[in-house]
Amino acid sequence: MNLVLSLTNVNEAEWIDRLQALLPDRKIESWKSDVSDPQKVEYLFAWKPDPAVFAALPNLKVIFSLGAGVDHLTSLPQLPHLPLVRIVDADLTSRMTEWVVFQTLFHHRDHLIFAAQQEAGIWKDHKQPAAKEVRIGVLGLGELGLSSAKALKSLGFEVAGWSRTPKNVEGIQSFAGDDQLDAFLKRTDILINLLPSTPTTQKLVNAERLAMLPQSGALGGPVYINAGRGATQDEAAIDTALASGQLKGASLDVFAVEPLPQTSPLWKHKNCIITPHVAAPSDPQALSEYVVRQIKRFEKGEPLENLVDLEVGY
């Protein structure tokens, strides 16, 4: 009943130490070193893993994804048909909500304008709309999207959400399915993308859909914010929309290729905030405790929580 980690661009030693402290009677090992007894490994903790790990561990029973997204696993043809558990953690959700609210307020309160004025030594005020005049649309009403939507609603914004299936959340208008996506976009001044990466969401935010965002809203132009997955957006279309003024501004934490190449034109837009996939960093202690809790549930015959539906990809 041992556990192996296959983590790319992550400090595995920190995770191993924390997991080992919580599971002192188990062997916790890195895939990068020689696994002492592959036959005894039943659990895999993965982030962009080496695809060879699956065939080398013949008795795997459960796979845990480090992070809320699972596309780094579901996109692998070698992924075995085993229970796949995604991370749902209060700390991760809180961090994402903080980032989304911060970026929303950053654009809502015209901080880009005031930062430029400070640099130039200009003292000038600008008319700012009340939150109740600004229509926010959240793409994806899962755990992270719903938390962000509720937080923004509490600040007085008019909030709607779009998801694959209808949601019933007090105070938040629900749009669902392909038939209602256009209507959702046409009422949205600040578009927040927290969608997972699945075959149906690839480049969902494209030139045609960005053009649906209204130019006549309270902010004087639409804003696009993405902390979900880079594969869900067309970055060339975002570049064009920012350059033309079709988008008033953007905040981007995720990209199709990470790190974002220095050749990307997105770096050069003064109305675009770029952060390096840090909206919701994983806390080793909190997430290690989550994984251990799931292992103990599984071994007591209790159902695993937050299982991924491999058919839909999240």
| Positions marked active-site | 229, 277
Measure the CA–CA gap between 146 and 139, rounded to whole angstroms.
Answer: 10
C-alpha torsion angle, residues 16, 21, 25, 28 (rounded to 10): 0
The 3-class secondary structure across 124-138, one letter per residue, is CCCCCCCHHHCEEEE
